[in-house]
C-alpha cells in the first residue's frame, strides 16, 4: 500500500470521528434564589472568564475546520461548535445573574467586567458587552 492510499484510508476513517455535543449551562439554576450578592459576583466573573476562553478557542478552531474542509476531508471538521455554544450559554446566564443582582440591590454591578463578544460563525465585529 503506498503512502497516498494510506492517507486516503486514514482520512476516510478519521471522517467518522465523533465530536462531543455542546453541554451548555442552564440560564436559571436550582439554587439561584439562595445566592448572596458575593456569590453572584463570583459566578458572573467566573462565567465571563470561562466563556471568553471557550469562545476564543472555538474561533481559533473555525480556521482549522475551514482548512480541513477545503484541503483534507469535511468529516474532520467540527460543525457542532461545542465551545462556542457553551460560551454563549454562560453569557446568557450572566445576563440573568446581572438582573438577579439588580433585583437584590447588590452593589458594585457597574464595576463587573464587560462580556466578551458572543460566538458566531461569522463575526460581525460589534461589541455587545453588558
Contacting residues for 95 by C-beta, under 8 A, at least 6 apart: 27, 130
Residue 97: exposure state from Cβ atoms within 10 A (0-12, 13-18, ≥19): buried
Q: Is the pLDDT of residue 84 over 60?
A: yes
- Separation in Å, CA 30 to CA 105, 116, 121: 21, 26, 32
Q: What is the pLDDT of residue 11?
A: 64
The pTM (predicted TM-score) of the whole model is 0.71
Average pLDDT over residues 43-62: 87
Average pLDDT over residues 68-91: 73
Amino acid at each position: 500500500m503506498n503512502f497516498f492510499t494510506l492517507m486516503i484510508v486514514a482520512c476516510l476513517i478519521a471522517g467518522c470521528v465523533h465530536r462531543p455535543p455542546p453541554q451548555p449551562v442552564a440560564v436559571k439554576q436550582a439554587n439561584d434564589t439562595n445566592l448572596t450578592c458575593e456569590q453572584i459576583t463570583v459566578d458572573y466573573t467566573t462565567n465571563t472568564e470561562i466563556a471568553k476562553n471557550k469562545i476564543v478557542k472555538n474561533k481559533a478552531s473555525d480556521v482549522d475546520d475551514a482548512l480541513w474542509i477545503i484541503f483534507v476531508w469535511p468529516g474532520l471538521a467540527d460543525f457542532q461548535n461545542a465551545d462556542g455554544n457553551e460560551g454563549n450559554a454562560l453569557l446568557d446566564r450572566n445576563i440573568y445573574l446581572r438582573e438577579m443582582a439588580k433585583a437584590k440591590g447588590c452593589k458594585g454591578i457597574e464595576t463587573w467586567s464587560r462580556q466578551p463578544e458572543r460566538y458566531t460563525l461569522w463575526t460581525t465585529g460589534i461589541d455587545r458587552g453588558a
